[in-house]
């Protein structure tokens, strides 16, 4: 997701990139520029998605920033990847690396984070129909339980609570909660961003406190924020998709005590092996920004048996010893039209938003 500040910078930056993308698209410049780039760089483009939805369900009160594309747009995007680029699987990339072969020009990987059931209901049929494989990084504890993800529940609570004020001294936030849902989403985005600057324990305590005070406990199931099931993942794997780890409980690994951080990596890989017949080869660090993983996390991922790891830092990477456990990705967002999407994949250094470094917060 995009986290640039201030908001006016986001809108101005997005508008300029989109306008330039449309001009380049209309002029037919993107395909030859992509080919010229491929002659000079053999890096790997990894597209990062979260959710793909049909038209938004009535009364949807979860995080819209996690809706990466609508179904029709996603089909167009995958058709373009199939037609103009070289879609690959992670195991194929690893095979190239182990054999000392260069990656094919314009290699692209498609990934999904978290494990929402719309990945199965909406995205998977489109991928299967077009013959494109994708990697689904799942938080195994949520696949086991079906419980909504805690960050999603925080946004949901802020959108639906009957409270008219919000006080979070740990985050230096004290404000009115407007009645308008759109304005509440703005408040929720700010709260969520600041919350992620805290250690994991403080994050959990704040979410639990709001759930208790507002009488909105996290349910065992919610139709609008439902993880996939192991049966769905088995079907997807049997039909050409890959499944990787996104930890157990979707925790920011660098903000956990070392023992818990290692357990998240080891247990999620083990659980995938039990349910799907093979342990995960690849892990995606939950949240995945600059503050969500570090050298200690990378070392622990290697020790746990993973062969590759993805961050959520925007960009591309040339897989090698220094990057194999910090691979960058290209976050795809629902406001990208087809021209902008093609431009991001063709020339990511020009059209992709940069990831900013989140400043740490200190609860107390």
What is the tens place of the pLDDT at every residue in 186-215? 999 999 999 999 999 999 999 999 999 999
pLDDT in tens, 283-331: 999 999 999 999 999 999 999 999 999 999 999 999 988 999 999 999 9
Residues found in the chain: 364
CB burial readout 311-335, b (16+ within 10 A) else e = bbbbbbbebeeebbbbbbbbbbbbe
Tokens read off for 11: 């809108």
Contact 333, 52 (CB under 8 A): no
- Cβ-in-10-Å burial (0-12, 13-18, 19+) of 124 comes to buried
CATH code, residues 7-146+227-351: 3.20.20.370
Please tell me whether the overall predicted TM-score, pTM, comes out greater than 0.85 for this model: yes
Query: Which tokens belong to 175?
Result: 């404000």
Interval 51-99: pLDDT, tens: 999 988 888 999 999 999 999 999 999 999 999 999 999 999 999 999 9
In the chain, CATH 3.20.20.370 sits at 7-146+227-351
Sign of CA dihedral 11, 15, 16, 18: positive
Q: How confident is the model at residue 364 (pLDDT cuts 50, 70, 90)?
A: very low
């Amino acid at each position: 997701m995009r986290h640039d500040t201030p908001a006016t910078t986001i809108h101005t930056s997005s508008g300029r990139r989109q306008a330039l993308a449309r001009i380049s698209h209309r002029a037919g410049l993107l395909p030859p520029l992509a080919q010229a780039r491929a002659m000079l760089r053999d890096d790997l483009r990894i597209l990062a998605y979260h959710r793909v939805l049909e038209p938004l369900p009535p009364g949807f009160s979860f995080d819209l920033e996690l809706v990466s594309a609508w179904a029709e747009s996603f089909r167009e995007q995958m058709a373009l990847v199939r037609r103009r680029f070289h879609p690959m699987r992670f195991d194929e990339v690893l095979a190239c690396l182990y054999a000392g072969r260069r990656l094919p020009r314009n290699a692209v990987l498609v990934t999904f984070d978290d494990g929402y059931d719309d990945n199965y209901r909406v995205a998977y049929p489109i991928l299967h129909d077009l013959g494109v494989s994708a990697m689904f990084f799942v938080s195994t504890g949520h696949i086991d339980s079906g419980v909504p993800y805690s960050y999603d529940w925080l946004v949901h609570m802020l959108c639906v609570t009957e409270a008219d004020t919000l006080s979070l001294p740990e985050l230096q936030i004290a404000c009115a909660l407007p009645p308008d849902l759109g304005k509440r989403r703005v408040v929720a985005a700010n709260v969520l961003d600041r919350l992620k600057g805290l250690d994991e324990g403080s994050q959990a305590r704040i979410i639990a406190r709001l759930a208790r005070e507002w009488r909105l406990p996290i349910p065992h199931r919610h139709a609008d924020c439902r993880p996939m099931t192991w049966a769905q993942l088995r079907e997807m794997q049997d039909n050409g998709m890959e499944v990787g780890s996104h930890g157990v409980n979707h925790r920011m690994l660098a903000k956990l005590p070392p023992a818990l951080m290692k357990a998240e990596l080891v247990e999620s890989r083990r659980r995938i092996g039990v349910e799907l017949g093979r342990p995960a080869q690849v892990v995606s660090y939950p949240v995945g920004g600059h503050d969500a993983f570090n050298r200690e996390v990378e070392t622990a991922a290697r020790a746990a048996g993973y062969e590759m790891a993805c961050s959520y830092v925007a960009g591309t990477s040339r897989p090698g010893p220094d990057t194999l456990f910090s691979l960058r990705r290209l976050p795809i967002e629902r406001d990208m039209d087809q021209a902008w999407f093609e431009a991001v994949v063709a020339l990511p250094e020009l059209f992709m938003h940069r990831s900013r470094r989140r400043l740490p917060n200190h609860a107390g």
